[in-house]
Structure 1
């Protein structure tokens, strides 16, 4: 192999690593927000590429024509997208939980603009999401995310992605479990509000002169926020569990990308 072939092969290797890094940073929960400057995302992906690519050793990228090379590029793109999607899906459980809580206590009519997706998001969902991001950074979760990305090349080397049936089933399973965790997070507040609604219904039958609607609205808000304050200390344990599941999910997804 001539010097020119070696240089071309190294350039292609760096390019493919950069594509996987970029696709991850676009969808990752910490770095993928739209209010994060694009120059920062590209610069971080490039910086990570120059660190990670030499660790891969002498990898020879084999392709016969432009179509094969384009297919390799799309494979690396999808690896990063899938990892970023799985990591973002776990944090989306907080949005779903917040939406359920807001609906129960009457905050569903008050939404805020999320600069990441340019859509209206629930008030408490945005609060829980920001809280989870802060705890994720305090626990050095972004370091573990980088480590998982580095290990992804040991499990799914370049040009080794396969869209297997196991991959699709695991993605569906992770989505279902994420929704289940969101319901569990919102359950204490939902249960408290439901009990208060039953109590107000009984009270309305006993005292017909009382305006239940005027009493019920502030009662639901106060009760919901009170229960949220009570469960806040235990919420950190729930977030720890979610973060542990996040890295387990990434490992499972990476394993199912390789044809067995």
Structure 2
């Protein structure tokens, strides 16, 4: 224990900068930013990771106390951007669920997300929780920690520069998350569209049938059936989204 205390006292500046970058990831990352995890556990985990990284880094950068404020801002930005990229791709499932909800009739039914304490779509919350569980199953949170460790190889302490390439990467990340969410919802949207066309034809051929009474529960049933059938495919979809997270994180680090 005394060894770690002496290490922190001797390298307190380096430890503080590493702790700031680690904390930045914990602000936005899907797993580490969860409100279900106690704050004491988050603080303890970030402290432990920072302590291990402090012992692992052999090259200590030269900086003065006057430059610490700017270095802290830079390190915090690196951590926040890494966490933001991972969260942006996970918001794909909210986009997907929102589109599905509007088509099958759940558009007015929102639930409270205990992680972010906001109202989210019903199916979006379902897909997000399922993706969250798969992320833990495949040890995706370990990959985020590995990306944090590798970030010091590509972006040493104090060398981060907020360039136009970084801005373009973040914009493209958001654009891809919306595009992926729309593509994932396309099969259900197509089936519901065909159902609407069939109901429109039936209303013309059978005027006595009340389409509004029959159509709403029919679209809900058909939508739930398609969702159930597509569940085995969803595991591969989550792996694809997670691969996009890793690709964009390392793309940012190499920039």
Normalising by the residue count of structure 1, what TM-score does the alignment of the two structures yield? 0.92
CA distance in 2, matches of 1:92, 1:132: 10
CA-to-aligned-CA distance 1:194-233 (integer Å, 9 cap, x gap): 1100110111111111100010100110011111111111
Contact 1:99 1:122 (C-alpha < 8 Å) held by counterparts: yes
Shift of 1:7: 7.2
SS of the residue 1:201 aligns to: helix
Tell me which residue corresponds to 1:3: none
Contact 1:9 1:60 (C-alpha < 8 Å) held by counterparts: no
Shift of 1:35: 2.6
CA distance in 2, matches of 1:159, 1:223: 55
SS of the residue 2:119 aligns to: strand
SS of the residue 2:11 aligns to: helix
Normalising by the residue count of structure 2, what TM-score does the alignment of the two structures yield? 0.94
Shift of 1:109: 1.1
Unaligned runs of 5+ in 2: 1-6
Shift of 1:8: 6.1
CA distance in 2, matches of 1:58, 1:8: 17
Tell me which residue corresponds to 1:146: 145
Q: How many pairs align?
A: 249
Tell me which residue corresponds to 1:32: 33
Segments of 4+ moved more than 3 angstroms: 6-9
CA-to-aligned-CA distance 1:138-182 (integer Å, 9 cap, x gap): 111111111111000000111111111111111111111111110
CA distance in 1, matches of 2:238, 2:8: 46
CA distance in 2, matches of 1:108, 1:72: 45
Tell me which residue corresponds to 1:16: 17
CA distance in 1, matches of 2:65, 2:42: 32
CA-to-aligned-CA distance 1:3-35 (integer Å, 9 cap, x gap): xxx976610000110111111112110110123
Shift of 1:64: 6.1
CA distance in 1, matches of 2:218, 2:55: 61
Tell me which residue corresponds to 2:76: 77
SS of the residue 1:160 aligns to: coil
CA distance in 1, matches of 2:65, 2:11: 17
- Judging changes above 3 Å, is the alpha-carbon distance between structure 1 residues 12 and 199 closer, same or farther for their aligned structure 2 residues? same
CA distance in 2, matches of 1:58, 1:75: 18
Unaligned runs of 5+ in 1: 1-5
Shift of 1:97: 0.3
CA distance in 1, matches of 2:8, 2:238: 46
- What is the CA RMSD across the aligned residues, in angstroms? 1.4
CA distance in 2, matches of 1:17, 1:72: 10
Tell me which residue corresponds to 1:232: 231
- Judging changes above 3 Å, is the alpha-carbon distance between structure 1 residues 229 and 124 closer, same or farther for their aligned structure 2 residues? same
Contact 1:52 1:150 (C-alpha < 8 Å) held by counterparts: yes
CA-to-aligned-CA distance 1:92-119 (integer Å, 9 cap, x gap): 0001100110111111111110122221
- Judging changes above 3 Å, is the alpha-carbon distance between structure 1 residues 82 and 216 closer, same or farther for their aligned structure 2 residues? same
SS of the residue 1:163 aligns to: coil
CA distance in 2, matches of 1:241, 1:197: 31
Contact 1:200 1:212 (C-alpha < 8 Å) held by counterparts: yes
